[in-house]
Amino acid sequence: MNQQAIVIGAGIVGLATATALARKGVSVTVMDRHAFAVGASVRNFGMLWPIGQPSGQRYDRATRSLSIWKELCQSAGIWMDPAGSLHLAYDGLEQEVLEGFHDLVKTERPYRMLTAEEVIHLSPAVRSKGLKVGLYSPQECIVDSPLAIRALPAYLSEAFGVKFLWETPIHRVETGAVWSGSQRYDADLVFVCTGPDFEILFPEEFAARSVTRCKLQMMRLGDQPPGWRLGPSLCGGLSLTHYPSFGAAGDALQRLRDRFAMELPDHVRWGIHVMVSQHSDGGLIVGDSHEYGSTLEPFDREEINMAILSYLKRFTDLPGYRVTRTWNGIYTKMTDGSTELVCHPLPGVTVINGLGGNGMTLSFGLAEEVIAVI
């Protein structure tokens, strides 16, 4: 008989785990406490973002994840835009970081440094005034997260027979079984992919690990003309200080950080870096900020949204900036420098969590690696 697995959580980590198990021939049941996914996985940019990953295992995992995303989106008819990405430099120091990074990775990654004219030619949305250069990558893709994350369960059911039990909150996990109220569900293997609700099932594990929560503020801009497309997703200089990949630029990056600390103290204080992607219906997704803590204020701060928008206008020239929706999302993040938490609090029970701001980019590859060794 097939092995049976239960996956708790139908965010991207749970869906990626279910996919990896089902592809190995395991019978999978996914349980989620909500009627449909409402967590971090539907609140993000939908950026599948290898460029943010340092070379080596993480970059390889991101490119593997991207190829699984592509297969699934194609098979399931889920919208995906191979839009690529453009990182923009508006002064000599930002240019130095981009060029330093490009020099180090150009033999292994498909990137190109573009002149200001080439950038403007590629994207109608980039602000031309003061633009020095851009780093273009054709690799990054966009999915419309709420659509993709909610369409994947139907596809996994149809293609692999994965069962989904919605509105099934799990309050207890044992070796070989999980409990929702008085209902017991048996399985050979249990995977706990519960995102920021992690500590409810394993409070001691959570307390013993270097994990925190991070709250991010996001916005959606409407009012773009019908058919208008952003082109590649865009990032300004602050993003160079956010993604670990740019650490390869060394000393120039530290000087850029120091300058931002002097010139943009509020942006630095709220962990703001600004990116924009475009979803399938034309809406632009803009963010974000980073506030850390075990318990986070539920309300959004207007000053953060204002700071994000003012920085966005430094590097974009969009048809419309009207904000049509605001929200925040919370993810778990490791504080000891590790990139995820994979642990076994009980025999046969695997926790996968703590992917931080990279869950959409890394989950499929990580899940494959985790399943391969179980």
**Chain contacts with ligand FAD (rule: CB under 6 A):** 8-14, 31-34, 37, 39-41, 43-47, 49, 169-170, 193-197, 200-201, 216, 218, 287-288, 329, 331, 353, 355, 357-361
Distance of CA 178 to the CA centre of its chain: 28
Pairing of strands 291-293, 141-143: unpaired
Q: What's the closest the beta carbon of residue 171 comes to ligand FAD, in angstroms? A: 6
| Residue in the block written with tokens 């539907």 | 42
Task: Output 89 or 193, the one with its CB closest to ligand FAD.
Answer: 193
Residue 242: CB atoms within 10 A of its CB come to: 18
* AA letter at 117: E
Q: Which residues have CB under 8 Å from 175's CB, separation 6+?
A: 190, 346, 347, 348, 349
Q: What is the Cα–Cα distance from 290 to 285, expressed in whole angstroms?
A: 16
Task: Output 193 or 234, the one with its CB closest to ligand FAD.
Answer: 193
Q: What is the Cα–Cα distance from 97 to 237, expressed in whole angstroms?
A: 9
Report residue 353 as tokens.
């969590």
Q: What's the closest the beta carbon of residue 130 comes to ligand FAD, in angstroms? A: 27
Q: What's the closest the beta carbon of residue 254 comes to ligand FAD, in angstroms? A: 25
Task: Output 31 or 187, the one with its CB closest to ligand FAD.
Answer: 31
CA distances to 12, 15, 297 from 150, rounded to whole Å, are 10, 10, 27
Q: What's the closest the beta carbon of residue 6 comes to ligand FAD, in angstroms? A: 10
Q: Which residues have CB under 8 Å from 155's CB, separation 6+?
A: 72, 75, 76, 78
Q: What's the closest the beta carbon of residue 220 comes to ligand FAD, in angstroms? A: 12
| Residue in the block written with tokens 């390889």 | 60
Residues 151, 341: contact at Cβ < 8 Å?
no
CA-based Rg of the chain, rounded to a whole angstrom?
21
Q: What's the closest the beta carbon of residue 112 comes to ligand FAD, in angstroms? A: 22
Residues 13, 352: contact at Cβ < 8 Å?
yes
Task: Output 95 or 194, the one with its CB closest to ligand FAD.
Answer: 194
Q: What's the closest the beta carbon of residue 147 comes to ligand FAD, in angstroms? A: 14
Let me know if 75 is exposed, middle or buried by CB neighbors in 10 A (0-12, 13-18, 19+): exposed
Task: Output 79 or 120, the one with its CB closest to ligand FAD.
Answer: 79
Q: What's the closest the beta carbon of residue 8 comes to ligand FAD, in angstroms? A: 5
Task: Output 51 or 133, the one with its CB closest to ligand FAD.
Answer: 51
Task: Output 261 or 306, the one with its CB closest to ligand FAD.
Answer: 306
Task: Output 29 or 95, the one with its CB closest to ligand FAD.
Answer: 29
